[in-house]
């Protein structure tokens, strides 16, 4: 695979710098909470506790999550074209083994990855497989494989652990403040109000940093997926369909231009329009590259890739574990 263009290097370097700064900010916030609660030793212990928790924290089994969704493993004969694309992309990404593909019986359009670099799974919904062309599906799979290759699953797990510890430390500090409130009122103990405010706001600040980190990793996965397939417009087309089908009929008819009204700071994913714009800008940078073997032949045509799986009804069914498709 040819090396990425200079523009791609700048994009990737900027995203990595953002990732380091955001993660450092989250860890610094955790240490600050520990220092406010118990002084310098508390800050050191908060850092040690974070490392220990990350090392020994129980990992949620992908099989448990997939079982909740009623996911079915996809064999090579179930979706030959899709599995061939996945194998090709995993080889280009340098993964030690191809992630196991799972099919989720749901008409919604979604895909996600779980596990580790050497033992990962990628799940796609029935609605996604039937709504996207093979070319667009290759773009989505490239995005998910980039998450795996970049270690984003581990990184976001680390960010989640740090965020949880920050909330625990903040709660413990606020409980101590309540117990010492009479002394504070009497003036026997003095604590700078700025530190108290930081302790109270720490969980919110940590959550915002975690969301910003998630958005940064999504941009990097978009870039990596485009580099793997050599076709940024494929992922851009998939994102357009995801945005379009994600709206309900009433919203599509009455409010076609209003989507995702939540503030940008509270989004786990960047705005779709911005992601598409960046992918379209990559088209010129990748246009001079030689054709990548395999994907073009596997992903030609615009017909959806359904495989042998049945069409999922639009209405969900009630099960013991909840409401599932």
Catalytic residue set: 144
**How far apart are alpha carbons 9 and 284 in whole angstroms?**
15
Residue 321, both tokens: 């574990």
Nearest to 108 by CA among 318, 321, 322, 313: 313
CA distance 128 to 204: 34
Q: What are phi and psi of 307, to 5 degrees?
A: 70, -160
From residue 235, give the alpha-carbon distance in Å to each of 136, 232, 311: 6, 6, 24
List Cβ neighbours of 37 (8 Å cut-off, separation of 6 or more). 169, 172, 173, 176, 199
Those residues with Cβ within 8 angstroms of residue 312's Cβ, 6 or more apart along the chain or in another chain: 105, 106, 107, 126, 127, 325
Please report which residue ranges of 180-192 form alpha helices under DSSP H. 181-186
Residue 115: which residues within 8 A CB-CB, separation 6 or more?
62, 99, 121, 148, 153
Per DSSP bridges, beta strands 119-125 and 111-116 are: antiparallel
DSSP lists the bridge partners of residue 324 as: 317
Q: Name the DSSP letter for residue 291.
A: P
CB burial class (10 A; 0-12, 13-18, 19+) of residue 36? buried
List the structure tokens of 132. 């996207």
Total residue count of the chain as it appears in this document: 325
């Amino acid at each position: 695979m040819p090396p990425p263009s200079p523009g791609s290097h700048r994009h990737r370097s900027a995203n990595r710098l953002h990732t380091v700064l955001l993660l450092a900010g989250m860890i610094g916030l955790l240490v600050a909470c520990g220092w406010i609660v118990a002084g310098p030793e508390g800050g050191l212990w908060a850092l040690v506790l974070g490392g220990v928790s990350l090392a020994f924290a129980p990992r949620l089994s992908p099989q448990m999550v997939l079982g909740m969704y009623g996911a079915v493993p996809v064999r090579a004969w179930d979706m030959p074209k899709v599995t061939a694309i996945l194998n090709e992309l995993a080889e280009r990404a340098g993964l030690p083994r191809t992630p196991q593909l799972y099919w989720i019986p749901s008409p919604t359009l979604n895909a996600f990855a779980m596990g580790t670099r050497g033992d990962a799974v990628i799940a796609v919904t029935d609605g996604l497989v039937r709504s996207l062309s093979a070319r667009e599906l290759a773009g989505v799979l490239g995005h998910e494989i980039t998450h795996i290759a970049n270690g984003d699953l581990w990184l976001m797990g680390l960010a989640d652990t740090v965020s949880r510890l920050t909330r625990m430390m903040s709660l413990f500090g606020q409980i101590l403040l309540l117990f010492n409130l009479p002394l504070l009122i009497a003036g026997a103990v003095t604590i700078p109000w700025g530190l108290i405010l930081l302790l109270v706001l720490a969980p919110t600040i940590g959550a915002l940093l975690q969301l910003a980190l998630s958005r940064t990793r999504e941009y990097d996965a978009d870039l990596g997926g485009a580099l793997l397939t050599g076709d940024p417009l494929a992922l851009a087309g998939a994102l357009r369909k995801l945005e379009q089908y994600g709206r309900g009929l009433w919203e599509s008819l009455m409010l076609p231009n209003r989507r995702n009204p939540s503030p940008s700071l509270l989004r786990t994913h960047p705005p779709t329009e911005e992601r598409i714009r960046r992918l379209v800008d990559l088209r010129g940078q990748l246009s001079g590259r030689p054709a990548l073997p395999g994907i073009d032949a596997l992903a030609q045509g615009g017909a959806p890739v359904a495989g042998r799986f049945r069409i999922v009804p639009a209405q969900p069914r009630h099960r013991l574990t909840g409401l599932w498709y």
